[in-house]
Structure 1
Amino acid sequence: MNIDQRIKAELEQESAEIDRILGEDKGITSMMANSMKGNLGRWFLIANLFVLIFTGAMITVGYQFFTADETGEQVFWGILLVLSLQMQIGLKQWLWQEMSRSSLLREIKRMELALARMSEGKST
């Protein structure tokens, strides 16, 4: 077997392994589940709980804003609506970053394992 055939076989094998790895990813639900298993899993659950609380608050405050009769009341409820929206945005941003971090760490570990396997294969 010449070097070109060997390189081609290695690339095909790596391509098949990458296809298998990409096929394992189930989507956003698996990313969320994996984030809950990590070191910050409790914080992830707490942040999700607060997202639900602020969603309820945002709906309630939005209803109060649109049904208020006086301008002063509308300003009050409007400010609370904006604050609850900002809290939601901040918490969801953190959740997405945590999911991304968890996914990235998993991919780095996969690469470390692949490199370890390659170095073992060359040493034998």
Structure 2
Amino acid sequence: MTIDSKIKKELENDAAEIDKILAQENGGLTSMLASGFKGSMRRWFVLINIVTVIISAALLWCAYQFFTVDSELQTFWGILLIVCLQLQVATKQWLFNEMSRSSLIREIKRVELAVSELEEKQNYKTD
């Protein structure tokens, strides 16, 4: 067995273990979204969700107006449609970044806990 095949085999084993851990811990997008409401930025998270719903309604209204008004007003409603679409993207981006941040903080705290437990075990063994 060559060194390349050994490395490849170890990487595959590590990837399989990581996939098992992620499957157990990660409940998907809905659990990540729910965790955003539990974090330290929950008030902002709620506010941005409300703003996103309002922007969604405005986006639908602008799209309806764009397709139903006379051709001379289509430019106005088209520009408003694009602005609403950009606002929608911006708010969704903030929400996903916040979910990612809270997930990352949870993982860092887990690692800190694991390190402190290992340190206690090491101190216990040396005493």
**TM-score interval w.r.t. the shorter chain?**
0.7 to 0.9
What is residue 103 of structure 2 aligned with on the other side?
103
Deviations 1:23-68 (A, max 9, x none): 0321111111111111110110110111111111111110110112
Query: 1:29 aligns to what?
Result: 30
Structure 1 residue runs of 4 or more that deviate by more than 3 Å after TM superposition:
18-22
Q: What TM-score comes out, normalization by structure 1 length?
A: 0.80
Q: Percent of aligned pairs with the same residue?
A: 46
How many residue pairs match? The answer is: 109
Partner-residue secondary structure (3-state), 1:37: coil
Question: Where does the alignment leave 5 or more consecutive residues of structure 2 unmatched?
Answer: 1-15
Q: Which residue of 2 aligns with 1:4?
A: none
Q: Which residue number in structure 1 is paired with residue 47 of structure 2?
A: 46
Q: Which amino acid aligns with 2:117?
A: R
What is the CA-CA distance between 1:107 and the residue it aligns to? 0.2
TM-score, normalising length: structure 2? 0.78
Structure 1 unpaired stretches of 5+: 1-14
Structure number with higher relative contact order (C-alpha < 8 Å, ≥ 6 residues apart): 1
25-34 or 105-114, larger mean C-alpha shift:
25-34
| 2:33 aligned partner, one-letter code | M
